[in-house]
Amino acid sequence: MATHKAGFVALAGRPNVGKSTLLNSLLKFKLSIVSHKPQTTRHRLLGILEGEDFQACFLDTPGLIDAPSDQLQKALRNETTRALRDDSDLIVYMVDAVEANPEKVGETHLRSGTPVLLVINKCDRDVAETKLAAIEKAYSAALNPEKIFRISALKNQGVEELKTEILSRLPESEAFYDKGQMSDRWERFFAAEIVREQVFDLYHDEIPHAVAVVVETFREHPGKQPDEVFATLYVERDGQKGIIIGKGGKDLHRLTERSQAMLEAFLGRQVQLELWIKVRKDWRKDPKSLAEFGYTT
> 73 vs 174, which has greater pLDDT?
174
In the predicted model, what is the mean pLDDT of residues 153-174?
A: 97
Q: What is the pLDDT of residue 112?
A: 65
Q: What is the pLDDT of residue 70?
A: 77
The domain tally of the chain equals 2
Q: What is the DSSP letter of 152?
A: B
**Cα–Cα distance between 57 and 5 in angstroms, integer?**
11
**Cα–Cα distance between 57 and 90 in angstroms, integer?**
10
Of 115, 133, 168, the domain-final residue: 168
Against a cut of 0.85, is the pTM above it? Answer: yes
How far, in Å, are 72, 91, 129 from residue 113 at the CA level? 27, 10, 30
- On whether both 281 and 217 belong to a single domain, the answer is yes
Give the chain's end-to-end CA distance (angstroms, integer): 45
**Cα–Cα distance between 250 and 248 in angstroms, integer?**
5
Structural domain contains residue 182: no
Q: What is the pLDDT of residue 105?
A: 80
- On whether both 26 and 147 belong to a single domain, the answer is yes
Q: How, if at all, do strands 5-13 and 54-60 pair?
A: parallel
Q: How, if at all, do strands 54-60 and 45-51 pair?
A: antiparallel
- The fraction of the chain above a pLDDT of 70, given in percent, is 95
How far, in Å, are 63, 98, 120, 171, 248 from residue 93 at the CA level? 11, 16, 8, 19, 45
Q: What is the pLDDT of residue 271?
A: 95
Torsion angles phi and psi, residue 214, rounded to 5: -125, 120
Cα–Cα–Cα angle for 131, 135, 141, nearest 5°?
A: 145
Tens digit of pLDDT for each residue in 230-250? 999 999 999 999 999 999 999
Tens digit of pLDDT for each residue in 90-143? 999 999 999 998 888 866 666 668 899 999 999 999 999 999 999 999 999 989
| Residue type for position 55 | Q
* Model confidence band, residue 37 (pLDDT cutoffs 50, 70, 90): confident
DSSP β-bridge partners for residue 48: 57
- On whether both 126 and 264 belong to a single domain, the answer is no
Q: What is the pLDDT of residue 110?
A: 67
Tens digit of pLDDT for each residue in 164-219? 999 999 999 999 999 899 998 899 999 999 999 999 999 998 999 999 999 999 99
Q: Is 283 exposed, middle or buried (0-12, 13-18, 19+ CB in 10 A)?
A: buried
- On whether both 159 and 252 belong to a single domain, the answer is no
**Cα–Cα distance between 151 and 160 in angstroms, integer?**
10
Structural domain contains residue 276: yes
Of 168, 198, 231, the domain-final residue: 168
200, 37 in Cβ contact below 8 A? yes
- On whether both 156 and 249 belong to a single domain, the answer is no
**3-class DSSP state of 85:** helix
Domain span at 60: 5-168
**Cα–Cα distance between 48 and 89 in angstroms, integer?**
14
Here the CATH number for the domain that contains residue 160 is: 3.40.50.300
